[in-house]
Amino acid sequence: MNFKLIAFCCMLYTICYFLYAADISAPKMEILDTPEGRVTSFPQGIIITDKDATITGKNALFYERDNRAKIFDSLLITTPQFRITADTAFYQFDEKKTTLRGHVKVESETLLINTPVLIFEQGRNLVTAHDNVNLKEKQQNLTIISRFGQYNFTDAIGVADSSPTLYIERSETTTVNSNKMILDNRNALFTAIDSVSVITAKSTLKCDTLIFFIKEDSGLAFGHPKVFDSKNQINGNTIKFFFAHADTQENIHDKTSLRKVKVLQAGNATYVTDDGGILEVFGDFFSINYKDGDVDYITVSSDTLKNVTGKFTPKKEL
């Protein structure tokens, strides 16, 4: 019996078995009998090409029984939109799904995702992580940390769930907390949903829903929004806030990134005056200007009072 011919036929069968799902290139392969069934080993590296995704590694094992490959040692997955590195990958040929483990990093032109375990679904162009997700939007220095994260590269939309936190890094870091966050990278929009709080160096904004316009460095707050610090509080139907860009002249001497807040529709404010008194003001529109992290002045206007405006300066600490 020609054992070499049998071994060659087994290897040829194995290659043909996987080719319906992907193209495989390897300098060497060996057939192993294991408790998990027959396994094909590629000890000198492998390249798997499946449509527009390419998986490479210095070592690989094919488990014929469940049509699965384990790729490890210098693992790299590349697509036209992003690349993934990790310690180990388990690729399911029939489902076109890869589970990556150990120091997983997904990087595109605008995004960087780090997590210990990631699932990549090639057909949906979707990556999903269920624990310790760190997603960074590189162009505007936005970082989301969450226990669950998902990003669809076809739609350019990411979702962070399970009480995520967003860090907006400017001259100082602003923190956003909520129960759910959505990043629409194509339209440069970030949305925080449910129990939202925006915390700057000395002020806090709370609302039900927050929309942040990434390129404009501004946001809208809906659902019982209010802005407050240690002495002042302003409420309204809608609140719009603006950050000062780090490269603008007005921000050179500021110690906080929050520049201005506008309260739109049915606003009211409670604040401390220069003489230490507490004053409540009602109006249709409020504008709050910040300097060095403190409220510098508040401007109020009201259509119902014939556009009467007022300018108020909070009490200064002695």
* Backbone dihedral angles phi then psi of residue 8, each to the nearest 5 degrees: -65, -40
Q: Which residues contact 235 (CB under 8 A, 6 or more apart)?
A: 224, 225, 226, 263, 267, 268, 269
* C-alpha to C-alpha distance for 25 and 126, rounded to whole angstroms: 25
- Per-residue pLDDT, averaged over 37-44, amounts to 87
Percentage of the chain modeled with pLDDT above 90: 37
Q: How many CB atoms lie within 10 A of CB 265?
A: 10
What's the pLDDT tens digit per position in 208-231?
A: 999 998 888 888 999 989 888 777
- Per-residue pLDDT, averaged over 158-172, amounts to 86
Instruction: Provide the β-strand partners of residue 139.
Output: none
Percentage of the chain modeled with pLDDT above 70: 77
* C-alpha to C-alpha distance for 55 and 71, rounded to whole angstroms: 8
First CA to last CA distance, the chain: 100
Tokens matching residue 208: 């039900």
Closest CA to 282 of 265, 261, 260: 265
* C-alpha to C-alpha distance for 35 and 177, rounded to whole angstroms: 49
Closest CA to 55 of 13, 113, 100: 100
Q: Find the radius of gyration of the CA atoms of the chain.
A: 28
Q: Which residues contact 4 (CB under 8 A, 6 or more apart)?
A: none
Res. 13 pLDDT band, cuts 50 70 90: very low
Q: Which of 102-106, 146-150, 168-172, 249-253 has the lowest mean pLDDT?
A: 249-253
Q: Which of 44-53, 119-128, 180-189, 244-253 has the lowest mean pLDDT?
A: 244-253
Domains delineated in the chain: 1-122 (2.60.450.10), 130-318 (2.60.450.10)
CB 231 within 8 A of CB 314: yes
* C-alpha to C-alpha distance for 290 and 296, rounded to whole angstroms: 5
Long-range contacts of range 125-129, CB-CB < 8 Å, 24 or more positions apart? 125/79, 125/81, 125/152, 125/153, 125/154, 126/150, 126/151, 126/152, 126/153, 126/154, 127/84, 127/151, 127/153, 129/104
* C-alpha to C-alpha distance for 192 and 209, rounded to whole angstroms: 6
What's the pLDDT tens digit per position in 268-301?
A: 677 666 666 676 777 777 787 877 667 777 777 7
3-state secondary structure of 216: coil
* C-alpha to C-alpha distance for 21 and 118, rounded to whole angstroms: 21
CB 98 within 8 A of CB 78: no
Q: Which residues contact 187 (CB under 8 A, 6 or more apart)?
A: none
Closest CA to 262 of 284, 287, 237, 232: 287
Closest CA to 100 of 118, 126, 84: 118
